[in-house]
Amino acid sequence: MRLAAKELLVLLPEFPQPWDVDVLCRDLAGARGRPLTLHPVDLPEFPFGMWIDDGVGDRVLYRSSATGYHRDHIILHEICHLLIARDGDPATATRTTAPPGAGAHSAAEEELAETFASLALKHAGRLRPRDLSPVERRAAELLGVARA
């Protein structure tokens, strides 16, 4: 599972410095020659995130209350689904045509997307907030980025 996530990471463009998931998405869209837009969704029943292919481009929806590491993680999770479906092994891909919460992806793909998002953020030098001591958290806030 970790190996597959690492293989998918190679499909991402070079990570922006300083880390910015919006810039990464813009660069990924440029590299793939296909629009990729991010849309905060303000609905309580909305799942954490969703990827939609609207026929013209890719849209990643995420819950508008998610911020910081959590927001980055949701967006990268959905990008993983996109990469699997578009550039990965078609045999392992499941398409997101089902409505939110309908379990559009297999459990294995969900696990892969979670691993992918965590690995990507580790690569970007982001630490989960709960992994930081109070001093480290304060330093991360001041610097705007946490270094592993």
Chain residues binding Zn ion by CB under 5 A are 110, 113
Quick check: 119 and 9 in contact, CB under 8 A?
yes
Q: How far does CA 54 lie from the centroid of its chain?
A: 18
Is the CB of 103 or the CB of 134 nearer to Zn ion?
Answer: 103
- Rounded Cα distance, 109 and 41, in Å: 23
Is the CB of 113 or the CB of 140 nearer to Zn ion?
Answer: 113
Shortest spacing between CB 131 and Zn ion, in angstroms: 22
- Rounded Cα distance, 126 and 142, in Å: 14
Shortest spacing between CB 99 and Zn ion, in angstroms: 14
Is the CB of 27 or the CB of 110 nearer to Zn ion?
Answer: 110
Shortest spacing between CB 18 and Zn ion, in angstroms: 27
Is the CB of 24 or the CB of 84 nearer to Zn ion?
Answer: 84
- Amino acid letter at 46? F
Shortest spacing between CB 50 and Zn ion, in angstroms: 8
- Rounded Cα distance, 148 and 5, in Å: 19
Contacts of 140 (CB under 8 A, 6+ apart): 127, 132, 146
Is the CB of 43 or the CB of 108 nearer to Zn ion?
Answer: 108
Shortest spacing between CB 142 and Zn ion, in angstroms: 33
- Rounded Cα distance, 62 and 39, in Å: 6
